[in-house]
Structure 1
Amino acid sequence: MSEFDYDLFVIGAGSGGVRASRVASSHGAKVAVAEEYRIGGTCVIRGCVPKKLLVYASMFAEELNHAEQMGWTIDEAKFDWKRLRDHVNGDVDRLNGLYTNTLENHNVERILERATVTGPNSVKLASGREVTAKYILVAVGAWPYMPDVPGVEHCISSNEVFHLDEQPKRLIVVGAGYIAMEFAGIFNALGSHVTVVNRTQTILRGYDEGVTDRLLSIATARGIDFRMDSSLVSVEKQDDGSLLVDIGGPQKLEADQVLIATGRVPKTEGLGLENAGIQLGPKGEVPVDEKNATTCESIYAVGDVTDRIQLTPVAIREGQAFADRVFGKIDRAVDYDNVPAAVFSQPPLGCVGLTESQAREKFGSVKVYSSDFRPMKNIFSHTPERGLYRMITDADSGKILGIHMIGPESPEILQLAAVAIKGGLTKEDFDATVAVHPSMSEELVLLK
């Protein structure tokens, strides 16, 4: 008989926690996972999946603008926010059920309660029951950051945006990272008047400046109002329910909703890790080594809670590697170089590898190739929006260091480009590849 109740106890049933749970169980471990909300985590329940469904829905507005030029007459087209909202949330319910079934089919015990760490091998549940485990995996993810300003209680985060009773006619988005730019694009396309409040002059900090400058230009042309070098000072709810928003300028703005999208912080408050001798990082993150081990030898952490790379596929790989290594005796590691990323703005961005400035800092001499083109589908548009692809290479070897693109379907095209970079290909290898014509992806092998 084991001296512990479980071989593995996982706190958090998001992407990383679910993967680690089922893989550990498949290796013969007795596993339980505690989740205080719903199975599936941020990505499935209140993040990338429902958000992208909103993106797809909002893109119909642009397609309808193209329709007349394509010979279509669409009379009395109208949009129903509640119908879209309910359909999206219905799909979230479906996915929650699928993730639940995955755990059940792999004999993972589900405990729908909050769990806190009480020691190196013990966890206390909200019901008061205490259980023990040989290993504990922390996979609680991250949570939207909400600033400490007067009236912030009248604002919403990305958690609540999927459940709005009404589509806001006037929406203020605070922040200009990927979450902010995605929701700004969604509601702008759906007909809301969107104002983006950003504390600097730069949107999507850390992404290639060439493609972010292009996005800023296109978003502005589409009617998004950018208030740069501004910060949220206060929010006041007026008698008619609208919001009066102070962003530090001479005039206050009026809005129906204020969406705070200024980043996410690890959800470790009250988790009790100090009871196992684990000291959190400056942002509340759980410090881990290359094997996702903490300073307590029985406790590991994966995913956004480590604040390493906050991406679902990274959390999944970390969960898989942890379970294989600890329970399957498979020495598996996660490679964090050249992790591709997408921003589902309108139009979307796809990026992998180093930006031009990062490459110059690291390698010194680099060569940049680019294609500035009008996508064929935009020929039917009333606006002359152009796509931009940029390839960063080492000037001496020609090895590709980064690819950055903005334009329709960029994330779909990026995946294979990321494989090429991961494989160490050069610009010459791309040049030697026959183009797929007519397509946007052919621009990657025609860069000058």
Structure 2
Amino acid sequence: MANPELPVPDGLVLRPFRGVRFTIDDLAKVTSPPYDLIDESAVRDLLDSHPNNVVRLILPGADHHRYAQARETLRAWLSHGVLAPDETPAVYVYEQSGPGILQRGLIGDVGLAGPEQQVILPHEDVMPGPVADRLALMRTTEANLEPIFLLYDGDGGTATLLVDRVAASRPPLAEAQTRDGVRHRLWAITDPDELTALDADLRARQALIADGHHRYATYLTLQREHHALRQEHHGTGTMDGTDGTDGTSTTGRPKPGPWDFGLALLVDSTSYPPNLKAIHRVIPGLPLEEALMRAEGAWQVHRHADLAEGLTALRNATEPAYLLSAGTQSYLLTDPDPGQVEQAMPANRSARWRALNTSVLSEFLLPKVWGRVDDEQTVRIVHHDPEAAVRLASESGGTAVLLNPLTVDDVLAVAAQEERVPRKSTSFGPKPRTGLVLRTFAFD
């Protein structure tokens, strides 16, 4: 059951908002990748590119004052005109294009819906650490500093037709080309008739969280906090909705506030199919020799002379399969003992879930074969880059575990059954660029 004190959107809602945008000419220098793809060296590079890079807001530092520092930086940039709100609320068309890339979607205020409502579907569980971090940042800054990434089956409907028409025929509001060769363009839809048409098309849709599970969980947590404070302040007697002057609507539900929405990019996956990439693991302190010795009792182990040869073998292997390395040579694990796998996998999960390579990794290979728990302290995450994972393994005296990406069909099938894939199973792309448009509660 949904919390009766929370507004319940009657479908997929993408509301216009007053976007906050950089006034700096070269937007490539002040924008960044999403926060969870930025390591310490990338932070330095971004700050070297421009002192007002958005990384100062999304990754403000390591000390206990960092969230207050982000708030003060945001206020200073708004006060000094580094950032400025758009005058008119809009839903924004956002395009990413480059070699082999074309993705268009809509950025707006998505109405928050719990998983039980089957409007916005998660496919991953979340970890408490990242949620606590993003919650502290969001609570302190009173802002959504980067959009989550949602996919929906738009079937080339009204919203998608409008997105394509805007991108093809109107001059962009903002434009940037980042060092990876991707061009980012932004348009604002403010026409009431066009916004009404968008809303009518989207209401009946269902969205999948492609990227941003921790931020979406943060949105929901912040929403609950605000409504608990509102109820404590007003008391239960104000919820009868008699006149709507006490923060409630005439139906008795609370009037939606800025915390009842979250910044999101919504992409029609039928018109713009996503690119699903692998997320690799590194287990520090597990030497490659020990990892291989323990695996031999349950897996077939195939030695490869170098990483490139091993990655080719991994791509062609029958799942579940993993490539282990800590340097030059690599070793492919295939064909696990079916009896051992069956005993390790949870019986209450679907066959589709139990067949995922990340499920076998988290339930069998890590805990049963290697005696490791799949958590943030034990397992390091490396997005996309197998060479970076191998370097980290070598530096930490550990083992890199390289995986093939899941398929989109597998992710959708698991989510439709209200299951969650193991943590850090998917990396959908191309991800939205952080800093092109921000959302603050003060201007919403």
TM-score, with length taken from structure 2: 0.23
Q: Pick 1 or 2: higher relative contact order, CA cutoff 8 A, min separation 6.
A: 2
TM-score, with length taken from structure 1: 0.23
